[in-house]
Amino acid sequence: MASSKSKNILERLDAGELIIGDGSYIFTLERRGYVKCGHMTPEASVEYPEAVEALAVEYARAGADITQTFTFYSRDIGTPEDVNLTCREINQASCDIAKKVAKKYDTIVAGGIVYTAVFKQTRNKKDVQDELREGLEVLIENDVDLIIVEYFRNIIEMEWALELALSYGKPVAATMCIGPKGDQDGVSAAECGVRMAKAGAKIVGVNCLFDPFITLETVKIMKDGLKAAGLNPYLMCQPLGYRTPDGGSYGWIELPEYPYAVEPRTVTRFEVAKFAREAYDLGVRVIGGCCGMESVHIRAIAEELAEEHGRLPEASRKSDLDLSVLGRKANLGRREYLGKGTKDFWWNLVPATGRPLSASLHRQENPQTVSKSVLN
């Protein structure tokens, strides 16, 4: 267990700390058989609380400073036909699990709210805030330490959500699910960053939909815009755990492999370590993961940034941190381990798929980050 620290993320960031977030819940639990694909709703907190708790513990052991509540929607929509649970019942169970794990591992309890269905229908501020208020109520009743206003694709809705979230007096982080080309209306990533900061968010950044290196490109654009505007919020990055340079404007969701065949695109632990180093060097101080980022990836972040973080995670007890185990096997003449006892080998490796006819990229009609000419 970590030593007792402030649960106020802003106090810790002000003190110069690096904060490591946790990883994927919905997508990981779907792959483990606790969430139904297509619905992607968190009723597992009620139906299989031990599975949700075990995953939260994995992230804490891997070095996460944050334990997110397994909450998602604000209203009773989207659950499978055989689930007779209200959104409030699910969200309360999710809070109970997060608080239990946070008590044991001394982590920050973070509750998230996401974009609404009503925004697309009406683009009415009152309608949006009324829906979000329902999701926020249970988080506030459970006295979460941090509100994450995340997975918003439109800066207008984000601004309305921030206004409401900040009214509760809690620390608030704001992350949009956008790529380098900006939000769904074409507002630039730079302007999105500036508007989130001007709306009052002390932590701004991106989460989900795009891979680690695309999200870094997006954060860099945000950072440049913030600097030009004379603003200096903390930066946050929680990307996908898949390589998706050929994703469309809605990222990986527009790829044919989504959601059942994305495994070949999974990032390696060493790619995530590279991402973590680049993120830290860019100035990002809240670094975690979203869909596909599992405990091995969070551990890779914590191990790569152990000096900056001030500790190695509990799970590192089972890591070959200096690759000496593989090195000894190589020194014994075992060819299958030749060269594998060095960091350079793993950092420079380009993993193969094992599929002779596999394509490196999908021929996306509307690629977000690569030129169409590359795909023709």
What's at 224, amino acid-wise? D
Please give the full DSSP string across 184-208, using - where no structure is assigned. Answer: TT---HHHHHHHHHHTT-SEEEEES
pLDDT given for residue 376 in this prediction: 54
pLDDT string in tens for the chain (376-residue length) = 445 789 999 999 999 999 999 999 999 999 999 999 999 999 999 999 999 999 999 999 999 999 999 997 778 878 899 999 999 999 999 999 999 999 999 999 999 999 998 999 999 999 999 999 999 999 999 999 999 999 999 999 999 999 999 999 999 999 999 999 999 999 999 999 999 999 999 999 999 999 999 999 999 999 999 999 999 999 999 999 999 999 988 999 999 999 999 999 999 999 999 999 999 999 999 999 999 999 999 999 999 999 999 999 999 999 999 999 999 999 999 999 999 999 999 999 999 999 998 888 887 777 767 766 555 5
Q: Is 41 helix (H, G, I), strand (E, B) or coil?
A: coil
Q: Which domains does the chain have, with CATH numbers?
A: 9-318 (3.20.20.330), 324-375 (no CATH)
Give the max Cα distance, the chain. 69
Q: 0.85 exceeded by the pTM?
A: yes
Say what the pLDDT of residue 218 is.
96
Q: Quote the pLDDT of residue 342.
A: 95
Contact between 261 and 252 under an 8 Å Cβ cutoff? The reply is no
Tell me the C-alpha distance between 26 and 39, whole Å.
10
What pLDDT shows up at residue 330?
A: 95
109: three-class secondary structure by DSSP? strand
What pLDDT does 1 receive?
44
Which of 238, 237, 230, 158 is closest to 201 using CA atoms?
Answer: 158
* Structure confidence at residue 364 (pLDDT): 74
* CA–CA gap between residue 68 and residue 174 (Å, rounded): 14
343 HSE (CA, 13 A, CB side): 9
Could you identify the residue written with the tokens 């984000």? 158
Residue 349: DSSP 8-state:
-
Q: Give me the pLDDT at residue 3, please.
A: 54
Closest CA to 210 of 151, 157, 168: 151
For residue 365, what pLDDT is reported?
Answer: 76
- pLDDT in the model for residue 78: 85
Residue 287, judged by CB atoms within 10 A of its CB (0-12, 13-18, 19+), counts as: buried
- Encoded tokens for 224: 């440049």
In sequence order, the 6+-apart residues with CB closer than 8 A to the CB of 210 are: 177, 179, 218, 239, 240, 244, 247, 251, 252, 368, 369
